[in-house]
Structure 1
Amino acid sequence: MKVVILAGGFGTRLSEETDVRPKPLVEIGGKPILWHIMKMYEAAGLTDFIICCGYRGQMIKHYFVNYFMENYDIEVDLGANKLKFLGHPSERWKVTMVDTGADSMTGGRVKRVAHLLNNETFCLTYGDGVSDVDLAKVIAHHRENGRAATITAVPSPGRFGILELEGSAVANFREKPANEMGWINGGFFVLEPSVLDLVTSDATVWEREPLEALAKTGQLSAYRHTGFWRPMDTLRDKRDLEGMWASGKAPWKLWS
């Protein structure tokens, strides 16, 4: 199963970092948060990634093109004109990076990589949030419920869009109501390829028309996660995540 990661936004609320690099490359413990997210999926057995690039996307491409050079020992034989990487990489990832436009919205970015999904079920997440959610269980939940889309629901104050749940089904999806508590979109979606028919253009916001339509038609399922979940929206979030990683007790470190 392929994992699509949205990594093209401007990250304006973390401008202290994102003025010089895309938010997914902002580091936690010396590794980009994108790396942490991919390690979470790897722990669930998923290693085939499609990264939707946009703002400063060339930096994400450079990171992976130079991955061996940055992370492993190198032997250079100048006389023989040979370059050899020493050791065996712990990450056995296949990474496809696609320029999905500087100004595309989240739905538009996913639509732009549809041709790479082979008309198969796929995962979708954001390039700026970590969690201790069991992704294998999210996928199993999706298969058991048989709906077109599954969203990971997490409890939070109402500064985010609210999910109204009826059992395991999402009855309604409402964006950013004021002064309201409830379940919110924690990302970590599992989707059938048919959901891409709901994206009409680069301007389509995945969290608006597509999710709202899926909820209204009973095709949006919710996997409730009450454990750790944290988006890296601000510098304070970054510092909090750094502190957790430095303590050796980062909840999202699901790999050994």
Structure 2
Amino acid sequence: MPKSHASEIDVLILCGGLGNRLKEVVRDRPKPMAKINSRPFLDILVDYVASYGFKRFILCIGHMGGVIRQHFKNKNDGLTYVFSEEDNPLGTGGAVKNAEPLIHSNPFMVMNGDSFCEVDLTRFLEFQTTNESFVSMVVIDAKDANDYGSITLGDSREITAFNEKDSAGQPQLVNGGIYLFDKDVLQLIPKMTKFSLERDLFPKIVDRDFYGYLADGTFVDIGTPERYRQANDILCDKARSKADKV
């Protein structure tokens, strides 16, 4: 597999969810636009990814998508933004399939629009190339995994199993919400159908060069009011620490 450069890779961000669990604290905007330290969460994601040299972003929008479109369409930051809009919620996999006509690169990156995972994306891209992966997933070691299903990795970092949520809350490997897909993955996702990457695709491709890249940086998500508040505290602390070093 030829080496890919970040500037050539499309980054697809999933921004179309309804965000029902967060509505009690974020009512006037879609979940990825929730404010963290007075900035939209989605801006933080884009800036982080762009810092590794990625240039082209496909924003998959749905619920209140006009807010995202308006925010990004006139940005003058040297990046390219295109929009893939869903008329009805299609799930994470359906959103990727809906964006297929806009995806130019192979591989391409997909990431959740409501979580932030601190990972070296240059090394992640090299990992994909070295393993000639069908799919590569960023995997994190969660201290309390009771809100997430866990992942089993083999000796060569191949993903061998997806496991149900563990109510005991023990440390386990979990999905970090960032993926690199070979474009042939799109053939496995039905058109215009609600389809989940996590439930309908990933468990079925564990025998197809599916690898997990272990990250050890900060991970936050803003899916619930409690986790949103935690994310705000963590990312604000990181921003202050970074400012102090300048």
Q: CA deviation at 1:117?
A: 1.3
| C-alpha distance 10-252 of structure 1, shift in aligned 2 (>3 A) | farther
The match for 1:35 is 43
1:200 equivalent to 2:190? Answer yes
Partners of 1:228 and 1:246 in 2: how far apart? 12
Q: Given the alignment, which residue of 205, 208, 212 partners 1:214?
A: 205
TM-score by length of 2: 0.86
Larger radius of gyration: 1
The match for 1:74 is none
The match for 1:122 is 108
1:174 equivalent to 2:163? Answer yes
Partners of 1:120 and 1:66 in 2: how far apart? 27
* Gap regions ≥5 residues in structure 2: 1-8
Q: Deviations over 1:21-76 (max 9, x none)?
A: 10011111221111111111111110200010011111111112354xxxxxxxxx
What's the Cα RMSD here?
2.2
1:10 equivalent to 2:18? Answer yes
User: Any conservation in 2 of the 1:17–1:23 contact (CA below 8 Å)?
Assistant: no
- How many equivalent residue pairs? 231
Q: Which moved more, 1:93-102 or 1:169-178?
A: 169-178
How do residues 208-247 of structure 1 correspond to structure 2 at under 5 angstroms? 208-215=199-206, 217-247=207-237
The match for 2:5 is none
User: Any conservation in 2 of the 1:29–1:246 contact (CA below 8 Å)?
Assistant: yes
Partners of 2:13 and 2:19 in 1: how far apart? 15
Secondary structure of the equivalent of 2:23?
helix
User: Any conservation in 1 of the 2:134–2:208 contact (CA below 8 Å)?
Assistant: no
Partners of 1:43 and 1:3 in 2: how far apart? 13
Secondary structure of the equivalent of 1:16?
coil
User: Any conservation in 2 of the 1:40–1:252 contact (CA below 8 Å)?
Assistant: no
* Gap regions ≥5 residues in structure 1: 68-88
Partners of 1:142 and 1:127 in 2: how far apart? 21
User: Any conservation in 2 of the 1:132–1:252 contact (CA below 8 Å)?
Assistant: no
The match for 2:31 is 23
Secondary structure of the equivalent of 2:197?
coil
Q: Which moved more, 1:157-166 or 1:5-14?
A: 157-166
The match for 2:148 is 160
Partners of 2:242 and 2:51 in 1: how far apart? 10
Percent of residue pairs bearing the same amino acid type: 24
Q: Which moved more, 1:53-62 or 1:173-182?
A: 173-182
User: Any conservation in 1 of the 2:138–2:214 contact (CA below 8 Å)?
Assistant: yes
Partners of 1:43 and 1:149 in 2: how far apart? 23
